[in-house]
Amino acid sequence: MHDWQHSSPNRIAATATLVALLTGMALVSVAQPPVEEEEANTKGSVKKRIVIEDDGFTLPKSGAIPAGNPPDSKLDELTRAADEARTAPLKALFLSYVVPFDKMIEASGSTRVKPISYRREEWPKDQQAVSVVPLDSNNKPRDARVLQVSSIRGTEHFESMILAAVEELLKQPANAPVSSDNYDASEKLLSAALRFHDYARERQIRKGKSWDELADPLKARLREIRLEVFRSAIAKDDTARARDAANRLMAAYPKDASIAREVATARINEATRLLGSASHADHLRARALLDDFESRFPGSSDAVRQARTQLREMATAAFTRAGEKKGVGDLITARDELARAGALDPSIEGLREMQRELRTGYPILYVGVRQLPVNMSPATARLDSEKQAVELMFEGLLEEVPQANGAVTYRPGAAVELPSIMPSGREFQLRAFERDSTGRSGLDSQDVAGTIRLLGNRPDIWPAYPLPWIGGLPAPTSINAIRIPFALGHPDPRALFTFKILPTRWMSENGKDLSDVGFAEKPFGTGPFRLYATPPKTGGALREWVFVDNPAYSRWRDRTSLPRLREIRLVDVSKLDSVEAFRTGKLHLLPDISTSDIEKYSNTSAPGSRFEVVTATTNRRVHILAMNLRRSYLQNKSLRQGISMAIDREEILREVFRAGKPEFHRSMTGPYPPNSWCEPKVLGGSPPLMNRDLAVARLKTYLEGTAPKTDFELAYPSGDPKAEAVCQRIKSQIEKLTKDGPQGRSLTINLKELPTRELFVKVQDERPGGYDLAYVPFDYPDDWHPYGLGAALDPQAAGRGGRNWFGFLTADTKPDPDDLRLGQMLTELRGYRDVAGQLAPRAAEASKLFNECVPFVPLWQLDRHMVVSNNLKVFVNDTTNPVNPRVLNPTTLFQGVGWWRVE
């Protein structure tokens, strides 16, 4: 068992109790990530405050109508039903039950009263009288009346009276349309009665244990009636009524397997009938029905396979006709037939090539990258281009939806919908489907469980970051449903479920683990795109990676016709005139240009300009000076503090990055991104890290030690002139402060340029590590920065490839009491969910202690500018209006890419 599976029993029990309590409430108030709202301050910068959003809303058990009168005083749906009734008897029937009531039966007759609290069976044996509120003929309450128990011959309750009325109604002769009207009326009456009952039980209007004896027959009869309506429509070949009845059944009983199977089977029969039509529109409807069936029931039946084969044959025939028409020059007909083939089965071999050749329905997005990807699995991606490829090909259970103010919300990814809340966890319904024609597996609950199991084998890597909150392996409840337990509470549990799902069944069958090189070079997942072609190793002026749309992605109703793009190309821009490429439509998006390059892209008045520069509002990247604490000399805290205090961050930002634009880029005063919700400057003030006088004192203390090492290596990425300029200035600033050091000793910083990938390997993957100091970016995994910092400094994550690049707190780095206290504080932060009251102030305290311990040197957060073509329309969900591309996170970039368009 791995460390991520161990937690304090008391903490787990407390968390379980809290989650169970929240689950029982109508409104579940679990925090989302902080929404950082901008407020103007006197200095013109951005001040941010925390706003916690609601986690979700739980409807009453009957799925009732939330607006209008309380259902114990009036059932509005029955008023509407009376207005819409086609016969006088039905109208009268609805009106007689608009106001819920019970009957008290005495020797002198019966009295209609407001619903009573306890059934007679639960009255105390020695009770002498009961108080009731009679209703007049207009359903208005009268003065309360006391009845002697001895005079009461019996009671009738609203639920039972509704059930009896329904049974009487359904005994009437079955002559259409009266028969169908009666069934509809019965469904409305029973649904209304259940809504009243649930409301009364939740608000203690109905008390005691025996009321469920009245509700259960109502539920059973309502289910029977809904099924009878559905079956009747199927028998009469009434397609519209059958579809409506099926939708209502699935909405009312989403977890009833027998109903789902019956509805799905009927849909397959309808699909088979539609395939026998000569209409292309009917064939498309048949495909939609098949997609819907397979999304609910991943294990295909023979009928489904036969229908799919028939669809493929139709698509192949259309594709063949397209080729024939293309061969004789009839391009209009060729395009029509090609579109027909793609709509029926987009996976036909050769379809994509002909679409590209005929330029029909084939939008291509060109994205510039500084370095082409190599390792593109979630566990091995290091470069930005690799992380972007992961975003194209893999899904989380949930996905982030970026907002204009830099905050995020969430939408379903590999899950069909947002999870349902269960005590101490969440339950997900999955977009499960079978393996494709190439033999690659699809997705089911075992893949989700397998992904968490594989991450549990490597809890030290960044993809496993959510594991401390997840309480062991999840429990698949069916092929397309899974329950994931919690070990700890989290301010926003949804943030935990964005980890990418791997095809673990296929990986297991083929002997592959998380770090498998072959899978990393040619990965596949359930995302909107799949890898299609890679550039040749040598030769060719333009090198690009090609990703094409994943046909399996559009199988679900909410993803019809997605992705809208057919192809995405990651283009190597190192040898490309990118300005000209934008002007000629050969580039649509280029992330991360320098501030000094803004001007050459911003002259929109120039002829042919069709692009703009935006600055990302979602920015989780900071730059740091990584320190290899496994080096004995860097275990000296005076040296680490001296180096951090010697660096004039503002001077370097001004001279290297700002290009005369002081509004961009911010120096760090601690480990968290500047202006983030947990940054101490926001929460109470933190001084700049540079302090030349203290730096001299700390470095002098180090140099006065026994045989101190005086020369260090500072590595930086090649091909980045700004990185070289940064390191030259860091070298100069540190060396100047020690040129007159004690006993003639001074520090020397030797610069070493390394290819970016080699630098990342040395810093992130090699152990004990082949570097002293390194200028590298650091990406926080989400907006919960204190948790990310704790993950980066976790001593259990200091192995090869682990998150703790620095070796902080490992035994061989000789941590002192302050180091140990910092580690303990960061671990304890995981146990807090109260952001304003507990998490934020403790995060600020940890930041101050971090600056004393200096596990790494925080430097700055650089604003990230992107060049975007006006032809690219960015959508992050299924809304009709595009968003400003500045909401995108340049590291992963392709948020909501399924909805993007190129015009």
**pLDDT bucket at 40, cuts 50 / 70 / 90:** very low
User: Which whole-number Å values give the CA distances from 366 to 334, 390, 561, 591, 889, in the listed order?
Assistant: 26, 17, 20, 12, 17
Report the pLDDT value the prediction gives residue 60, as an integer from 0 to 100.
Answer: 32
Question: Hey, CA dihedral for 56, 60, 61, 62, is it positive or negative?
Answer: negative
Q: Do 414 and 395 touch, CB atoms closer than 8 A?
A: yes
Half-sphere exposure of 312 (CA within 13 A, CB side): 10
What gap in Å lies between CA 157 and CA 121, rounded to an integer? Answer: 13
What gap in Å lies between CA 126 and CA 802, rounded to an integer? Answer: 72
Q: What is the DSSP letter of 838?
A: I
What are the DSSP calls for 466-490, one per residue?
A: TGGGB-SS-EEEETTEEEEEBSS--
H or E, element range at 160 = helix 158-170
Which of 344-348, 366-370, 563-567 shows the lowest mean pLDDT across its residues? 344-348
Q: Which amino acid is at 517?
A: V
Q: Encode pLDDT of 421-466 as tens digits.
A: 888 899 999 998 876 655 566 889 999 999 999 999 999 999 999 9
Q: What is the DSSP letter of 835?
A: I
Q: Encode pLDDT of 699-752 as tens digits.
A: 999 999 999 999 999 999 998 999 999 999 999 999 999 998 899 999 999 999
Query: What's the N-to-C CA distance of the chain in angstroms?
Result: 53
Identify which has the larger pLDDT, 896 or 182: 896
**pLDDT bucket at 30, cuts 50 / 70 / 90:** very low
Residue 275 above 80 pLDDT? yes
Report the pLDDT value the prediction gives residue 23, as an integer from 0 to 100.
Answer: 31
What gap in Å lies between CA 414 and CA 378, rounded to an integer? Answer: 15
**pLDDT bucket at 318, cuts 50 / 70 / 90:** very high
Q: Encode pLDDT of 515-535 as tens digits.
A: 999 999 999 999 999 998 877
Report the pLDDT value the prediction gives residue 171, as an integer from 0 to 100.
Answer: 84
What are the DSSP calls for 568-595, one per residue?
A: EEEEE-TTS-HHHHHHTTS-SEEEEE-G
Q: Which amino acid is at 64?
A: A
Which of 262-271, 295-304, 490-499, 728-737 shows the lowest mean pLDDT across its residues? 295-304
Report the pLDDT value the prediction gives residue 252, as an integer from 0 to 100.
Answer: 78
Q: Do 667 and 649 touch, CB atoms closer than 8 A?
A: yes
Report the pLDDT value the prediction gives residue 300, as an integer from 0 to 100.
Answer: 56
Average pLDDT estimate for 399-421: 91
Q: Is 164 exposed, middle or buried (0-12, 13-18, 19+ CB in 10 A)?
A: exposed
Q: What is the DSSP letter of 30?
A: -
What gap in Å lies between CA 865 and CA 617, rounded to an integer? Answer: 10
Q: Provide φ and ψ at 243, rounded to 5°.
A: -65, -40
Residue 29 above 80 pLDDT? no
Q: What is the DSSP letter of 186?
A: H
Report the pLDDT value the prediction gives residue 288, as an integer from 0 to 100.
Answer: 79
User: Which whole-number Å values give the CA distances from 125 to 121, 149, 207, 727, 785, in the listed order?
Assistant: 9, 10, 17, 88, 62
Q: Encode pLDDT of 349-407 as tens digits.
A: 888 788 878 877 789 999 999 999 999 999 999 999 999 999 999 999 999 999 888 88
Report the pLDDT value the prediction gives residue 33, as an integer from 0 to 100.
Answer: 37
Residue 303 above 80 pLDDT? no
**pLDDT bucket at 177, cuts 50 / 70 / 90:** very low
Report the pLDDT value the prediction gives residue 58, as an integer from 0 to 100.
Answer: 30
Q: Provide φ and ψ at 377, rounded to 5°.
A: -90, 155
Which ranges constitute the DSSP H helices of 253-408? 257-275, 280-296, 302-327, 331-344, 351-358, 384-393
Report the pLDDT value the prediction gives residue 399, as an integer from 0 to 100.
Answer: 96
Average pLDDT estimate for 121-138: 88
Q: Do 401 and 418 touch, CB atoms closer than 8 A?
A: no
Q: In the structure encoding, which two tokens stand for residue 747, read together?
A: 């520090």
What gap in Å lies between CA 331 and CA 866, rounded to an integer? Answer: 38
**pLDDT bucket at 570, cuts 50 / 70 / 90:** very high
Report the pLDDT value the prediction gives residue 255, as an integer from 0 to 100.
Answer: 73
Report the pLDDT value the prediction gives residue 649, as an integer from 0 to 100.
Answer: 98
What gap in Å lies between CA 47 and CA 506, rounded to an integer? Answer: 48
If you count them, how many residues does the chain have?
903
Q: Which amino acid is at 858?
A: P
Q: In the structure encoding, which two tokens stand for residue 78, read together?
A: 């029955």
Average pLDDT estimate for 620-643: 97
What gap in Å lies between CA 308 and CA 344, rounded to an integer? Answer: 10
**pLDDT bucket at 286, cuts 50 / 70 / 90:** confident
What gap in Å lies between CA 714 and CA 882, rounded to an integer? Answer: 44
What SS3 class is residue 868?
strand
Question: Hey, CA dihedral for 632, 633, 637, 640, is it positive or negative?
Answer: negative
Identify which has the larger pLDDT, 176 or 91: 91
Residue 119 above 60 pLDDT? yes
Half-sphere exposure of 459 (CA within 13 A, CB side): 18
Q: Is 836 exposed, middle or buried (0-12, 13-18, 19+ CB in 10 A)?
A: middle
What gap in Å lies between CA 470 and CA 477, rounded to an integer? Answer: 17
Q: Characterize the bridge pairing of strands 129-132 and 145-148.
A: antiparallel
**pLDDT bucket at 546, cuts 50 / 70 / 90:** very high
782 Cβ partners below 8 Å, 6+ apart?
33, 495, 498, 620, 788
In the chain, the percentage of residues whose pLDDT exceeds 70 is: 88
What gap in Å lies between CA 216 and CA 226, rounded to an integer? Answer: 16
Half-sphere exposure of 91 (CA within 13 A, CB side): 6
Question: Hey, CA dihedral for 78, 82, 84, 86, is it positive or negative?
Answer: positive
What gap in Å lies between CA 474 and CA 453, rounded to an integer? Answer: 9
Q: Mean of the per-residue pLDDT values for the chain?
A: 85
Report the pLDDT value the prediction gives residue 479, as an integer from 0 to 100.
Answer: 87
Report the pLDDT value the prediction gives residue 65, as an integer from 0 to 100.
Answer: 36
What gap in Å lies between CA 889 and CA 402, rounded to an integer? Answer: 8
Peptide bond into 768 cis (omega under 30): yes
Q: Which amino acid is at 670?
A: G
Residue 3 above 60 pLDDT? no
What are the DSSP calls for 757-810, one per residue?
A: HHHHIIIII-SS-S-SEEEEEEE-SSS-HHHHHHHHT-GGG-STT-S-TT-TT-
Region for 234 from its dihedrals, namely left if φ exceeds 0, alpha if ψ lies in -120 to 50, beta otherwise:
alpha
Q: What is the DSSP letter of 129?
A: E
Average pLDDT estimate for 320-325: 92
Report the pLDDT value the prediction gives residue 12, as an integer from 0 to 100.
Answer: 34
Looking up tokens 């200091």, which residue turns up? 798
Report the pLDDT value the prediction gives residue 439, as an integer from 0 to 100.
Answer: 58
Q: Of the spans 106-120, 142-156, 648-662, which averages the highest pLDDT?
A: 648-662
Q: Which of 568, 570, 564 is nearest to 346 (CA)?
A: 564
Average pLDDT estimate for 804-828: 96
Q: Which residues pair with 627 in a beta bridge?
A: 773
Q: Do 886 and 616 touch, CB atoms closer than 8 A?
A: yes
Residue 83 above 60 pLDDT? yes
Q: Which of 315, 265, 262, 270 is nearest to 288 (CA)?
A: 270
Q: Which of 688, 656, 653 is nearest to 669 (CA)?
A: 688
Q: Do 318 and 282 touch, CB atoms closer than 8 A?
A: no
Report the pLDDT value the prediction gives residue 540, as an integer from 0 to 100.
Answer: 56
Residue 536 above 70 pLDDT? no
**pLDDT bucket at 793, cuts 50 / 70 / 90:** very high
Report the pLDDT value the prediction gives residue 9, as an integer from 0 to 100.
Answer: 35
Q: What is the pTM of this model?
A: 0.73
What are the DSSP calls for 35-51, one per residue?
A: EEEEEE-TTSSEEEEEE
Which of 230-239, 510-519, 831-840 shows the lowest mean pLDDT across its residues? 230-239
Report the pLDDT value the prediction gives residue 61, as an integer from 0 to 100.
Answer: 33
Report the pLDDT value the prediction gives residue 269, as an integer from 0 to 100.
Answer: 82
User: Which whole-number Å values give the CA distances from 859 to 123, 621, 790, in the listed order?
Assistant: 73, 11, 18
Q: Which of 97, 103, 92 is nearest to 77 (CA)?
A: 97
Residue 758 above 70 pLDDT? yes
**pLDDT bucket at 8, cuts 50 / 70 / 90:** very low
Strands of 416-462, DSSP E: 420-422, 425-429
Residue 539 above 80 pLDDT? no
Q: Is 583 exposed, middle or buried (0-12, 13-18, 19+ CB in 10 A)?
A: middle
Report the pLDDT value the prediction gives residue 393, as an integer from 0 to 100.
Answer: 97
Report the pLDDT value the prediction gives residue 22, as an integer from 0 to 100.
Answer: 28
Q: Do 564 and 901 touch, CB atoms closer than 8 A?
A: yes
- 401-404 contact pairs (CB < 8 A, 24+): 401/876, 401/877, 401/895, 401/896, 402/617, 402/618, 402/876, 402/887, 402/888, 402/889, 402/895, 403/35, 403/887, 404/617, 404/883, 404/884, 404/886, 404/887
CA angle 26, 27, 30 (to 5 degrees): 135
